[in-house]
Structure 1
Amino acid sequence: MKTLLTACSLMFLLTANSQVIINEYSCSNSNGPTDAYGDTPDWIELHNIGATAFDLSGYYLSDNDNNLSKWEIPVGASVPAGGYMMVYCSKRDELNGTQLHPSFGLTQTKNEWIILASSGGAIQDSINITNMTQDDHSYGRTTDAALTWSIFTTPTPGATNVGGMNYYSATPVLSLAAGFYSGTQSVTCTTTDGSATLYYTTDGSVPTTASTLYAGAISITATTVLRVKGFSSDPNTPPSFTETNTYFIDEVHTLPVLSCSGDEVLDFINDVAPGSFNSNFKGAFELFEDNGTLVSEGTGYYNKHGNDSWAYDQRGFDLVVRDEYGITNAVRHELFPEKNRDEYQKIIIKAAANDNYPFAQGAHIRDAMVHTLSQQAHLRVDERTSRFAIVYINGQYWGVYDLREKVDDADFTNHYYDQDKFNIEFLKTWGATWAEYGDQTVPHPEWEAFKNQVITGDMTDPVQYQAVKDVYNTGSLIDYVVLNSYIVTSDWLNWNTGWWHGWKPEPADKQKWRYILWDNDASWGHYINYTGVPTTGPDADPCNADNLPDPGGQGHIPILNQLLLNEEFSQEYITRYADLINGPFGCPAMQNLVDSMVAVIQPEMQRQIDTWGGSMAGWQAEVTELKDYIDARCAAMTAGLIDCYDLEGPYDLTIDVEPVGGGTVKANSEWVPFYPWTGEFYGGINTLFKADANAGFTFSHWESVNHTFANPDSLNDTLSLIAIDTVIAHFIADPLPPDPPIVDPPIVTPPGQPNPTTFTGFHIPNAFSPNDDQNNDWLEFFAGWDVTNFDLQIYDRWGTLVFKTSTVGDFWDGRHKETLVNTGVYTYVLIFDSSETGKTETTGNITVLR
C-alpha cells in the first residue's frame, strides 16, 4: 500500500534521511536550459548528497500534496554520487536519457508542490511553491543541501548552487485601486522594504532607476497606467515585481475594458518596433468587466494577429499570459458567460479583422457573428467564442475589439475534450498546410491515408462507409461545408481551415477528425475572393461548394463528393440546409443576431469613429448592407436548393404530439422546439422522423394527414413529401402508480396574474426588475384569447439565448442557468399564431433593472 499524506505532513523538508533531495527549481524558464526536445519547460534539479549512486526507479514525483504517487519514475533513473538529475516538467511522461519528464507541469502562481516520495509512499523531500520567481530566475538551496533557500538570478541547473540572493524587494502598494474614477485622483505608494527606493512610470514602461523617483503623492489627471517598482540599496536583494494600475479618468464604457501596457507594446501595435510582424513583446494586462470591476491582471507577451488586417492602423493581436513571470498563469475569469471555463492562457484580441470599420469598410461584427451563429445552431464544429471589449494601449484609447477564445490551441482541446497537446493531431491550412500539434511530417501520413481511403473506396458499401465514420466526424464536415456555403465564405479551404482529432479513448467521438472555424470575415459578400468561389453574391448556388476543385489540396471537397454517393450521407447533407433554415439560419433569427450584436457595440462606435475615422452613417450603412445581403440570401436559398439537388416544394409541415407533453420529435437532424410547430421541408428527398417518449409515456404511432407512413408503429420512420402536411406523434400514458399518502401542500403564490381573455394578440412588458422585492420580479407576458400557440425567445447582447418558453404563465425570473443576468437591454423574438390575424413574427427589447 502506498502511503498517502496530506499537506499537514508536508510542512517540513525531510532531508535528514534523504540521500536525494530537491536542490533547485525554476518555474520561470523562458530562455534558460533546454530539454532533449529543444524546449524550455519548468525544471527541477535533484541532487544526490551521498557517496554512492542512487536508483530512483519506482520512486514518485508529484505536484499535488493529495496525490503523492502522481508520477512513477521509470526504471533506469539513477543519480550519480554527489551528482544531479534534471527533471523537465514537460508532461511527456518518460525518461529520456538522463532527463526525467514527468506527466505534469508546474504552475507557480497556483502554489503547487514539488514532492519526491519513495516507492512505499514515504516523503523524501518536498517544497510548497509560495515564493514566485521572475522571468528566467530560479529558487534553490543557498548552497547545495543547505537548509536555507535563495533566489538565483543566474540559475545553476545540473551544477553546484552559487550566487544565491535574498528574495526580491517587497512589491510596492498603491493607495488607490485600479479602476474608473471621476476627476483628478491622488495616489501614494509605499513599500515594506525599508531599504527600497521606489521609481515609477506613466507611459506603460517598466520602471528602472532612470525612471521618475517617487517622492510623494502622484496626481492622476487623465487616464494613466501607473507602474511602480522597488529597488533595494542592498546589492544582494533583487528589484521587486512591478505593480501596475490603470486609472481611467472620466471614462464611461458599456463593454469590458482591456488595458495593455509594456515597454514596446505601443510600438508593436503601431508596427514600428523591430520584429513587430513575428516577435513577442512582453507586457502587462488588466481586464475590467463591463461594470468597471477589475477581474484579472497579470503579465505575458503580445504578438501579431491577422495578415491583411495588419496593414490597418487598428491592428489585432494575441495575448499569451505566462506563469513564468510570477503574476498569474492565465486570464482567470469567466470571460465568456456562455462557456464553462474560467482560465484562458491565450486570447485573441481582434479588431474585426477584414470586417473592420472604417479600415475595411465593414460592419465590425461579421466574423464574431458567424462564430456566434454556429454556436447558437449547435453546429458540430469548434468556434472562437466572442465578446466585444474596449482596448487601451499604455493608457491610450485604442477602440472597439472583440476578445476571442483561441481554438487552435491545446488548452482548448484539453479543457473541453480532455485531449492535451501530446494526444492530438491538429492540422491547419493557411496557404500551406502544417501540423500545429502531433506528427510534423508533411504531408501528414495519417490524413493522407484517410483521404485516400475515402477517395478510392466505395462509399455506397455500408461497411466501408462505417469504417470512415469510425474515424471521421461526417456531421462536422456537413456543418462546416453547409455553414460556409450558406454565408458564401470566400476565404476558406485553401486558407483559414483547421481540423483535428484526439488520441485519448474518451470522449470517443473526439477521436474522430472534426473541423474548427477560423477567420470568417470574408463572408456575406464581403472582402476578397481568395478561394475562387464562382460568385460571392447572395444568389450563389449552395452546391457551389460541392463543385469546387480542391482548394488547399487537402481533399475536403473530394471527400465530400465521395461521401455524397452514400444515400445516408447525402440525405443528411441536403436536408441539413433546410433544418438550419427552419431555425437559426432563418432570416428572423439571423437578423435578430445581427441586431443584438450591433446593439452591443453601437454605444461605443462613435468614439471608435472619432479615433479611427468614418462616420456613424457610414458604419450604419455597412450594417444595413449586411442585413440586406442576409435577406437576399434567405430568399435565394429555396430556389438554389431545388436547382442544385433536384428537390420539390418546399412544403409547410406542421409537427405535433398527442397528448401535450407526451414526448418529442426529431425531424431530420433537429429536435422540434415546441408543439405544434411548422417548418418548410422539401420533397424529392426523404424526411426522417424520430419519436422520444417523455417520462411516464410510451410511443404509440405516427399519424400523417396527407401521406402514409411505412412503419407507423416504429420510433423511426420516413416520408417523401409531395404536399403540405401535419404529422402527429402519438404517445400513451403509462399506468399510474398507486396514489401516495395525501399531504397538505405548502401555500405558494405563483408569479403573475391569470391570463386575460378579453383582448387579442400578445403583450410583453418592456422592463422588469428581478430583485426579489416582490414587485415586478417576473417578466409577465399575456396571450390573448385568439393566440393558439407561441414561441418566445430572449437573447442577451452577445446573442446568447437566456430564456425560452411556449407556455402561458411560464414567466421569466431574470435568470440564466440559475444565475441572475446583468442589468441591461435584452432582445426578444416572438412568433405566435392567432385565430384572428394568422402568424405573427416580431422582435423588441426588454430592459432588466435592479
Structure 2
Amino acid sequence: MNKQQTTFPSILNLLWALLLCSIGFAQSPGQELVYEPPPLAVEFVPPSGFYADSVNVQILSPGAKIYFTTDGTEPRIIPQHRYSTPFPVTKTTAVRAIAVMTGEESHVFSATYFINEPESKLPVVSVSISPHLLFDPVRGLFKKGENAVDSIWYKPGANFWSRRELTSNFELFETNGKSVWENETGFRLFGGMSRLFPQKSISVVARSRYGDKRIRHKVFGKKGLKKYKFLVLRNSGSDFGKTHFRDALMTHLVRKWDLDMQDYRPAQVYINGQYWGIYNLREKVNRYFIASHYDVDKDSIDLLEHRLNRHNGSTAHYRKLLRFLKDNDLSDPVNYAYVKSQMEVNNFIDYQIAQIYFDNQDAGGNIKYWRPQTPAGRWRWILYDTDWGFGLNDSKAYRNNSLDFHTEANGPNWPNPPWSTFILRKLLENRDFQIEFVTRFCDYLNEDLREEEVLSTIEKFYHRLLPEMPRHLKRWRLKRETWEQEVEKMRTFANARPRYMRKFLKEKFDIGDSRTVSIQIDKGGKIIVNGRIKERQHFSGKYFEKTPLRLRAKPDLGYRFVRWEGEGVNSSSPELLLELTRPIWDIRCVFEKFEHPLAGKIIINEISCNNRQSKDWLEIYNNSKEKVNLQGWVLTDRKNKFKFPKYILPPKGYVVVCEDSSKFLKVHPKVQSLIGGLSFGLNKRSETIQLFSPNTSSVDSVGYELEPMDSVFAYNLLLPSLDNGDPSNWEVLTGNGSPDAANQYYLSSSIQAKRELWMQIGGALGVVFLCLMLLWLRKKKVL
C-alpha cells in the first residue's frame, strides 16, 4: 500500500489534471495552460472526535510520504516521524501530520481523539503545540525561565511576559462532538497580571501563512459572526480561582445597551491531549474586532488604549476633543452640542453606568476607545476586562460609592487618576447630561440591573458551569468551597447594589426625593419609558422627583391605544411627560382591539411554501369595490415583519408577495402584479400569517397546519367570499399554483355558476317563447 502511495498520483490529482487538459482544448491559440495541482493534505481515519474505547488511526495522503507525531511536537522529515501503518490510540491524543511529495511539504494537520472522556455540554478546544515551546524550563512560555526577577511580585523578565507568536494547531469541537474547524494558527499568551496564574490565557490568530486566514465557524451561535481572525481562550483574568465567569456575567447583563463588548462562551480546553480546564472563549478586542462588528475598514480607524496609547490610527482627534473639554464650559448648550458631535454620548453614559454599578476597581485607566476616521466619526468606548467588579476582592463592595470614585478630581495614579475621570466630570457640568445620566441609571436599576434579573442571570451562569467545575477545580488544585463562596458573594452584591446606588445618586445630584411608579399595561401593547421599551405587562420602578418620565404607548399589531388613566393622570395622547410631583404613582395604559374597515375584503388568498425553484410566495386579493394603497402595510409571521412599498391594489385585483422576484418569474413569467423582497420564508408545515394596515389595525389572519409533503404544492382558498380563517375553506393542490389569477376551485365554481345561470335563463326564455306562441296561435284561431 505504501509503495502504491509513493508511485501513483491520487485519483483526485488525476481527475484534476484531466479537467485542466479538457479546458486546455478550449484555450486560445498560443495561450499556455498551467497545471496547478490541489494543495497537499492529509486525511485521518477515523476522523477526530470522541470515542468510548481505543481506536486504530490511519493517515492518508495518496502519492505522498507522511510524517506524524502524537505528543504535540511539530512533525519533521525525519525517520522517527515517518508514518507506515495504522497505529492504536488508547488515551486522549492529539495527532499532528504533514504530507511531503516531490519536495513540497504540506501545512501541519491535526486530529484529536478523545478516549473515554467525561461527558460535557460545553464545546471543546484542542490545541496542539510542540511541548518544549511551553514547558522547557529555560525558554518555555508557561515557565518563569532564567531571567525572571523573583524579588518583584509580578516577576518581570519571566518567559510568560513574552509576546512571541508560536505555531500551533487549533481544533474546535461543537457540543455534539463534531469537529467544525481545524487549522494551524498563531499562538500567543494573553492578558496582564493574570499571566501569573498557572492556567495561562491564550490568544489564537488565523493567518494565511498558516493556511486559512479566518476561523470559519459561528463560534458564539447564530447571532455571532460567521468568521474570526482572532479568538481568546481566557482564564477568567483576575477572577481565576474564583467564580470563573465574573467578567462574562457583567458583559451579559448589559448586552442590550449601546456598548461594544466581546461575545462569550465557556469551553473545555485540551493542550496536546491533556485536559487544561475551562476557559472563557472570547473575541479579541482589536481593529479586526471593530471592523467585523461595524463594517468599517480596519485600517481606517483610530483605536486607543489607556491614556492615549495608540493601537491604530492617530491620537490627534482625541487630543483635540480633550483640549475643547478643558477650555470650554459645558453648561453652555452650544459647547455641549459640539462635544456630542465628537463622541457617542449615549455610549459613554452606558459605559460609565456599567462600570459604576459593577464597582469595577480597575476601570479608571483600563480603557479602550475608538472612532472611524471619517468627518462624522465619533468616539466610542469598549467594555472589557471587568473582572475587578462585583466584589472581586471585597465581600462588601456593594457599599462602595463608585460614583464618587469615577468622578474623583484628585485620585491616585491608580486606579482612578484625574485624567481617567476628566470626561465624565466635564459632561456633568451640563444639566441635560446630568438628568439623562441619572434617569438612565434609574431605568437600568429598574430593569436590566434589578435584583431579580441579576440574580436569575447569576444562577444561569452558575448552573451552566456546575457539572463541569469539579474537574476544572481538581485540575488546578482549587477548592469547591471557594468557588461557591465567590458565587454567593456575587448574589449578595446583586441583592444590595441597587439600594446603595440610588442612595449615591441622591447624595450626588440635585434630583429631589425618591418616587415609585407602577404602570399596569393592558393586553395589546407595550410602553416605552424614557426611550426604552418594556416587554412586561406590569412595570414598576423607582425614580426621583426632578427627573420626569417620558412615557409612550406602543400598540401591538391589531390593537390601538385608548388612554392613560390613574390618579392625577387622564390623557388620550400616546405620549405623556409625567412630572413626579407625588411619592407614589399607579397608572394604567389602556389598549383595545382594532379592526380595519376592509377586514374580510383584503384577504390572503393563496400560499406557496414548498417550492425551491420559485421560493416562497403568497397572494393577496382585493375583494372590495375600491382601490387600496398598500404602502406601509405589514405582513408578519409573528416573528418577522415585511413592510409593503407603495403599491395600488385595484378592486378585484391580485398581488403576489414573494421572497425572490427573479426566481419567481422564472417559474411564473406571465405574472405582472408582483412585490418582491419578502424578508422571511414560510414554514411548509405550520404557520400563522397576518396582515395589518399602517395604523396597526388588523386586516387579515391565516393559520395552517399541513401534513408533510415532498412535492411542490400551493395552499388555496376555495372562494374569496369564504372565511379564510377556517381551514375547511382551503385546499392543497400539487403544482406551482395560480399566482395573480383566480384559484382553480373559484374558476370551476364560477364556470359552473355561469352554466347554471345560462340554463336558467334559457329555460325562462323557452317558457316565455312558448307562452308567446300560444297567444299568437290563439289570436290566429288556430287553437
TM-score bracket for this pair, using the shorter chain length: 0.5 to 0.7
Q: Secondary structure at the match of 2:486?
A: helix
Identity %: 25
Q: Secondary structure at the match of 1:664?
A: strand
Partners of 2:355 and 2:184 in 1: how far apart?
Answer: 37
- The aligned residue for residue 81 of structure 2 is 212
- The aligned residue for residue 506 of structure 2 is 642
- The aligned residue for residue 577 of structure 2 is 717
Identify if the C-alpha distance between structure 1 residues 397 and 733 changes in structure 2 by more than 3 Å, giving closer, same or farther.
closer
| Aligned 8 A contact 1:549 1:557 in 2 | no
Partners of 1:323 and 1:182 in 2: how far apart?
Answer: 36
Deviation at 1:13, TM superposition (A): 13
Partners of 2:224 and 2:69 in 1: how far apart?
Answer: 38
Identify if the C-alpha distance between structure 1 residues 615 and 462 changes in structure 2 by more than 3 Å, giving closer, same or farther.
same
- The aligned residue for residue 532 of structure 2 is 670
Q: Which has the higher helix share?
A: 2
- The aligned residue for residue 184 of structure 2 is 299
Partners of 2:593 and 2:325 in 1: how far apart?
Answer: 47
Partners of 2:496 and 2:394 in 1: how far apart?
Answer: 20
Task: Give the counterpart letter for 2:583 in structure 1.
Answer: A
The alignment status of 1:503 with 2:392, answered yes or no, reads no
| Aligned 8 A contact 1:185 1:221 in 2 | yes
Deviation at 1:216, TM superposition (A): 1.7
Partners of 2:484 and 2:144 in 1: how far apart?
Answer: 32
- The aligned residue for residue 435 of structure 1 is 310
Q: Secondary structure at the match of 1:485?
A: helix
Q: Secondary structure at the match of 1:512?
A: coil
- The aligned residue for residue 300 of structure 2 is 423
- The aligned residue for residue 260 of structure 1 is 127
Partners of 1:450 and 1:484 in 2: how far apart?
Answer: 22
Alignment of 1:112-127 (within 5 A): none
Deviation at 1:554, TM superposition (A): 8.4
The alignment status of 1:736 with 2:596, answered yes or no, reads yes
The alignment status of 1:198 with 2:62, answered yes or no, reads no
| Aligned 8 A contact 1:355 1:366 in 2 | yes
Task: Give the counterpart letter for 2:240 in structure 1.
Answer: N
Deviation at 1:208, TM superposition (A): 1.2
Deviation at 1:725, TM superposition (A): 0.6
Partners of 1:292 and 1:742 in 2: how far apart?
Answer: 51
| Aligned 8 A contact 1:365 1:597 in 2 | yes
Deviation at 1:708, TM superposition (A): 8.5
Deviation at 1:231, TM superposition (A): 3.3
Deviation at 1:213, TM superposition (A): 2.7
Partners of 2:224 and 2:596 in 1: how far apart?
Answer: 39
Alignment of 1:678-689 (within 5 A): 678-689=540-551
- The aligned residue for residue 446 of structure 1 is 317
- Give the alignment partner of residue 475 of structure 2, picking from 593, 608, 611: 611
Task: Give the counterpart letter for 1:608 in structure 2.
Answer: H
Identify if the C-alpha distance between structure 1 residues 490 and 669 changes in structure 2 by more than 3 Å, giving closer, same or farther.
farther
Partners of 2:521 and 2:196 in 1: how far apart?
Answer: 57
Identify if the C-alpha distance between structure 1 residues 224 and 650 changes in structure 2 by more than 3 Å, giving closer, same or farther.
same
| Aligned 8 A contact 1:321 1:331 in 2 | yes
| Aligned 8 A contact 1:699 1:715 in 2 | no
Deviation at 1:248, TM superposition (A): 0.5
| Aligned 8 A contact 1:199 1:214 in 2 | yes
| Aligned 8 A contact 1:205 1:262 in 2 | yes
Q: Secondary structure at the match of 2:598?
A: coil
Identify if the C-alpha distance between structure 1 residues 492 and 541 changes in structure 2 by more than 3 Å, giving closer, same or farther.
closer
Identify if the C-alpha distance between structure 1 residues 197 and 628 changes in structure 2 by more than 3 Å, giving closer, same or farther.
same
Deviation at 1:629, TM superposition (A): 2.6
Partners of 2:442 and 2:25 in 1: how far apart?
Answer: 67
Alignment of 1:161-200 (within 5 A): 170-193=40-63, 196-200=64-68
Partners of 1:714 and 1:189 in 2: how far apart?
Answer: 70
Q: Secondary structure at the match of 2:468?
A: helix
Deviation at 1:687, TM superposition (A): 2.4
Q: Secondary structure at the match of 1:584?
A: coil
- The aligned residue for residue 370 of structure 1 is 250
Q: Secondary structure at the match of 1:561?
A: helix
Identify if the C-alpha distance between structure 1 residues 13 and 311 changes in structure 2 by more than 3 Å, giving closer, same or farther.
farther
Deviations 1:323-381 (A, max 9, x none): 2222x222211111263411011011101111011xxxx21111111111121xx1211
Identify if the C-alpha distance between structure 1 residues 575 and 438 changes in structure 2 by more than 3 Å, giving closer, same or farther.
same
Deviation at 1:241, TM superposition (A): 3.0
Deviation at 1:555, TM superposition (A): 4.6
The alignment status of 1:247 with 2:113, answered yes or no, reads yes
Deviations 1:374-431 (A, max 9, x none): 21xx12111111100011111111101010012x3222222221112222111111xx
Q: Secondary structure at the match of 1:246?
A: strand
- The aligned residue for residue 108 of structure 1 is none
Q: Secondary structure at the match of 1:332?
A: coil
Task: Give the counterpart letter for 2:310 in structure 1.
Answer: A
Identify if the C-alpha distance between structure 1 residues 714 and 208 changes in structure 2 by more than 3 Å, giving closer, same or farther.
closer
Deviation at 1:527, TM superposition (A): 4.1
Deviation at 1:616, TM superposition (A): 1.6
- The aligned residue for residue 690 of structure 1 is 552
Deviation at 1:674, TM superposition (A): 2.4
Deviations 1:660-690 (A, max 9, x none): 42x4322224222223322222223322323
Partners of 2:114 and 2:409 in 1: how far apart?
Answer: 52
Q: Secondary structure at the match of 1:500?
A: strand
Q: Secondary structure at the match of 1:422?
A: coil
The alignment status of 1:387 with 2:262, answered yes or no, reads no
Deviation at 1:475, TM superposition (A): 1.1
Deviation at 1:504, TM superposition (A): 5.0
Partners of 2:177 and 2:35 in 1: how far apart?
Answer: 41
Partners of 2:186 and 2:346 in 1: how far apart?
Answer: 37
Partners of 1:297 and 1:516 in 2: how far apart?
Answer: 30
The alignment status of 1:315 with 2:205, answered yes or no, reads no
Alignment of 1:466-545 (within 5 A): 466-495=337-366, 497-504=367-374, 511-527=377-393, 536=397, 538-540=399-401, 542-545=403-406
Partners of 2:25 and 2:276 in 1: how far apart?
Answer: 50
Structure with larger Rg: 2
Identify if the C-alpha distance between structure 1 residues 462 and 338 changes in structure 2 by more than 3 Å, giving closer, same or farther.
farther
| Aligned 8 A contact 2:548 2:578 in 1 | yes
Deviation at 1:484, TM superposition (A): 0.8
| Aligned 8 A contact 2:93 2:272 in 1 | yes
- The aligned residue for residue 101 of structure 1 is none
Count of aligned pairs: 566
Q: Secondary structure at the match of 2:47?
A: coil
Partners of 2:55 and 2:595 in 1: how far apart?
Answer: 73
Deviations 1:222-269 (A, max 9, x none): 00011122334x4xx222333310001111222111001122553355
- Give the alignment partner of residue 228 of structure 1, picking from 97, 104, 117: 97
Partners of 2:246 and 2:25 in 1: how far apart?
Answer: 57
Q: Secondary structure at the match of 1:630?
A: helix
Partners of 1:213 and 1:696 in 2: how far apart?
Answer: 72
Task: Give the counterpart letter for 2:580 in structure 1.
Answer: S
Alignment of 1:20-419 (within 5 A): 147-148=33-34, 170-193=40-63, 196-210=64-78, 211-232=80-101, 234=102, 237-252=103-118, 253-263=120-130, 264=132, 266-267=134-135, 268=140, 270-271=142-143, 276=160, 277-326=162-211, 328-337=212-221, 339-357=223-241, 362-375=242-255, 378-406=256-284, 408-419=285-296
Deviation at 1:302, TM superposition (A): 0.9
Identify if the C-alpha distance between structure 1 residues 592 and 16 changes in structure 2 by more than 3 Å, giving closer, same or farther.
same
Q: Please provide the CA RMSD for this pair.
A: 3.4
- The aligned residue for residue 425 of structure 2 is 561
Partners of 2:557 and 2:344 in 1: how far apart?
Answer: 31
Structure 1 residues without counterparts, runs of 5 or longer: 1-7, 19-144, 151-165, 530-534, 747-771, 778-850
The alignment status of 1:588 with 2:452, answered yes or no, reads yes
Deviation at 1:614, TM superposition (A): 2.0
| Aligned 8 A contact 1:257 1:289 in 2 | yes
Task: Give the counterpart letter for 2:87 in structure 1.
Answer: I
- The aligned residue for residue 333 of structure 2 is 462
| Aligned 8 A contact 1:426 1:501 in 2 | yes
